Structure 1
């Protein structure tokens, strides 16, 4: 089941981010405009109130005030949203201009306002905001003024804010339209840009689709790959190289296994066919059965080794590590091979010592394989030395034997499964018991211990060196 489109997801994310940015910026600008408009209107109201107070304080009586109505109302002329009232102490209206368009008739406006005394300074802080019964938004203030005869009058300056609300509503609607259009444009552009940015990934996918079992050596080639994807391409190519190498080793391993299995099976079949070609004596049949038993044992050892290697590569393979006395273990192994060594005319020597940390059974199997290999290729009268040397952080166990030196270029390959330096040794009687897996098992055992196994060879001897952690 296909998952969500990465292109669509990223495009939606960019579009959502764009919308959020538009919303934040638009809100900031909208509220800034709202504050600026109110600030400007409040300043107009304050200035009108101050001028009206100053004009009123220059008049002597209420009669003079009534006779100078035009002078007072001139402060709000030219702006249909502004209104003015002047009332006496009994709240009787002395002067009135444009109040019908601002407040409802009969509304006790002074009760809704903060009233400033005659001695108080008129500032923007004195302005109040309310709604009329018709829902009309109004801002205004009330301030007292003292005529020259001492009479107190109240001035009310109001402004109908409907036009400002309509202005802000239109501005808000435009912000909505611009925000939605910006989001759609951002989605479209983001979709195109992301799709183009992901083109190298599609090319990688197309290139990877051409890799088959027969073409594991093919590398993923992408022109102008971005730096962010260069590591991915390198990792995929490295993985293909490992798969190719592993597949080649598996193919070679299978071919070698089939070849090595065919040899003892061919021996079994050939000897049996020869024996059945004519009647044989009991002694001849017994010799045939003994020969067949040896071949069966060889096949059994080969199968056991293959199974061990398969189990050892499994992540759940269990090792029981404990402290071992290297000298004691080497002496025990040498004692076990003493009879075989005497029969081969080879002398065994155990030297050195130290304590190491390893699985006892696997340690014995590794040393046993090396010792069996050394016995196979040490000439009669030669010496084999098992040596343990301790260093501050590790223990080196060396199995060295005299004999024909190994080419340095082959010292690593001898640890490969079924690898033999000289193919003619397959028919060598001394190699009859070899399955070609002994050194591969040694390398696997050392990998399980986190150690190393390597070989050195010169004219004096061939040495197999195993490195273990100290106890």
Structure 2
């Protein structure tokens, strides 16, 4: 296996879960085996301790009789319990020819003396005789049987631990494979989603509780992607139409002009018409670039004090001439001062006033009301005209959106970029744009923070 494959496998959740499960099982088995082995050793030690204590009780009770060794020596010589008597640290009696270890300093009858001779293991306790000061009895037993049992038992525990670890590893692999199957199902659902099938959604009722937030989040992301794809598709169609129409007009006019000789006046009229179409293309491209830069914070924004009342007054003077054909009147109220980019704010207000002039009915009034709060300022522009359909209001700030889907260019229609640019400028100044329309009265409200 290459280093890359090893690294890839270690990054696998399944591999790490299996290794973690196997390691935890092995640790638990080792601790259990060690505890069991310790318990067996302790059991044998306690058993030997009880036997030696009981034997000493008998010796301590009978040792006051005369000729104790003569009477009971044969019993200890035939018994599994070995007896040594010491006087002033000198051996005076041994029931069997088994040498004691050199060190017998332990006087505590609760502490074992353990030694081995030629492969035979012994365990003994040293006692003080009550009626014979200076004389000690050492009682011991052979622990060979214990050692053999413990060694065999340890081998069984080791083999059991190895087999149980292998079984736990296999079971861990099966459990991990089974419990990760929802992830494989999720992967299959995700693979089925393509740009052509963005309407597919992952059903969350078939997934465990831990994966449901992930599925819900993924479905929400698909909703956003589907909307973005639809808008991108519409944007491509819209921009193609916006550029195709003036280019088509210029192509048609140029071909007609070239079909036969024309006078200078006719050529001039055609060139003027082409310039108008080129201006329309240039404005569309410029607006698109401006909108793209504003949405990605690429525009350089300068902050300076802006008197909204003066700015609105200047714009009204300009649009009064544009509204002469409809005999429109303008009214203005309120005042506010903000810190913002003057050219951007002027462009946003210009777009809203241009939109109001374009969609106002003849002999009506356009009202501009300025209000200011502690944190923000609002400019409400109200005009009288056709009521905007409720379903169209959320789409007004989309690029190239127009309620009239015929897209015919005329004096009262724009490219559909003014309102999106206005909305983008408002957000750059920590504000927003909203619209209300009912009973032929439409109000666009531009909200801007007092300090950007």
CA-CA distance at 1:313 after TM superposition: 3.4
In 2, distance between residues paired with 1:334 and 1:269?
Answer: 38
Q: Kindly state the Cα deviation for residue 418 of structure 1 after the two structures are TM-superposed.
A: 1.4
Greater mean deviation of Cα atoms: 340-349 or 297-306: 340-349
Cα shift at 1:323? 6.0
Mind listing any 5+ residue stretches in structure 2 that lack a counterpart?
none
**Partner residue of 1:65 out of 63, 68, 71:** 68
Query: Relative to 1, partners in 2 of residues 1:452 and 1:92: Cα closer, same or farther, differing over 3 Å?
Result: closer
Given that 2:376 and 2:449 are in contact with CA atoms closer than 8 Å, whether structure 1 keeps it comes out as yes
SS of 1:157's equivalent? Answer: strand
SS in 2 for 1:227: coil
Q: 1:141 aligns with which of 109, 125, 133?
A: 125
Matched pairs, number: 444
Residue deviations 1:9-35 (CA, integer Å, cap 9, x gap): 212211111111122233333323333
Report the alpha carbon displacement of residue 470 of structure 1 after superposing the two structures with TM.
Answer: 4.0
Aligned residue among 427, 436, 440 for 2:420: 440
Q: Distance in 1 between matches of 2:406 and 2:384?
A: 20
Q: Which residue of 1 aligns with 2:279?
A: 297
> In structure 1, what is the Cα distance between the partners aligned to 2:245 and 2:307?
40
Partner of 1:469: 449
- Structure-2 change in CA distance of 1:184 and 1:456 (3 Å): same
Q: Which residue of 2 aligns with 1:48?
A: 55
Q: Matched residues in 1 for 2:161 and 2:422: separation?
A: 71
User: In structure 1, which of residues 425, 430, 434 is the aligned counterpart of residue 412 of structure 2?
Assistant: 430
* Aligned match of 1:248: 230
Deviations 1:408-467 (A, max 9, x none): 332222222212112456233232xx2111112222333444433222223453211122
| Distance change (3 Å), C-alpha of 1:333 and 1:49 | farther
Say yes or no: does 1:388 pair with 2:380: no
Aligned partners of 2:121, 2:444: CA distance in 1, in Å?
Answer: 99
Aligned partners of 1:91 and 1:307: how far apart in 2? 111
Distance 1:318 1:184, change over 3 A: farther
Equivalent residue, structure 2, for 1:208 = 190
Distance in 2 between residues matched to 1:317 and 1:158, nearest whole Å? 98
| Segment drifting more, 253-262 vs 344-353 | 344-353
Deviation at 1:294, TM superposition (A): 1.5
Equivalent residues of 1:85, 1:99 under 8 A apart: no
Q: Secondary structure at the match of 1:34?
A: helix
1:348 corresponding residue in structure 2: 330
The match for 1:97 is 95
The Cα offsets for residues 234-253 of structure 1, whole Å up to 9 and x where unpaired, read as 22222222222211111111
Contact 1:309-1:441 at 8 Å conserved across structures: yes
**Structure 1 residues 139 and 364, CA gap change in structure 2 (3 angstroms):** farther
Distance in 2 of aligned mates of 1:328 and 1:32: 95
2:21 aligned to which of 14, 19, 33: 14
**Structure 2 matches for 1:60-459, cutoff 5 A?**
60=66, 64-70=67-73, 73=76, 77=79, 79=80, 82-89=81-88, 91-94=90-93, 96-100=94-98, 105=99, 107-109=100-102, 111-115=103-107, 123-124=109-110, 127-132=111-116, 134=118, 137-145=121-129, 152-221=134-203, 224-314=206-296, 319=301, 324-335=306-317, 337=319, 339-341=321-323, 345-356=327-338, 358-424=340-406, 426-431=408-413, 434-459=414-439
Asked if the contact 2:18/2:169 (under 8 Å) is kept, the reply is yes
Q: TM-score, normalised by structure 1?
A: 0.84
Distance 1:73 1:328, change over 3 A: farther
Contact 1:353 1:388 in 2 (8 A): yes
Deviations for 1:334-363, whole angstroms, at most 9, x for unmatched residues?
455455455764333332123446444332
The offset of 1:46, in angstroms, is: 2.5
Contact 1:53–1:155 (Cα < 8 Å) also in 2: no
Q: Report Cα offsets for 1:373-416 as digits up to 9, x if no partner.
A: 22222345433222222245543221222223222332222222
Q: Which moved more, 1:334-343 or 1:307-316?
A: 334-343
Q: CA deviation at 1:258?
A: 0.8
In structure 2, the residue matched to 1:119 is: none
Q: Give the direction of change, closer, same or farther, for the CA distance of 1:448–1:69 in structure 2 (3 Å limit).
A: same
Q: Supply the distance in 1 between the matched residues of 2:130 and 2:204 (Cα, whole angstroms).
A: 90
Q: CA deviation at 1:321?
A: 5.8
Q: Would the aligned equivalents of 1:146 and 1:153 in 2 still touch at CA under 8 Å?
A: no
* Partner in structure 2 of residue 120 of structure 1: none
Structure 2 contact 326–362 (Cα < 8 Å) conserved: yes
Contact 1:113 1:140 in 2 (8 A): no
Please state whether the residue corresponding to 2:385 is helix, strand or coil.
coil
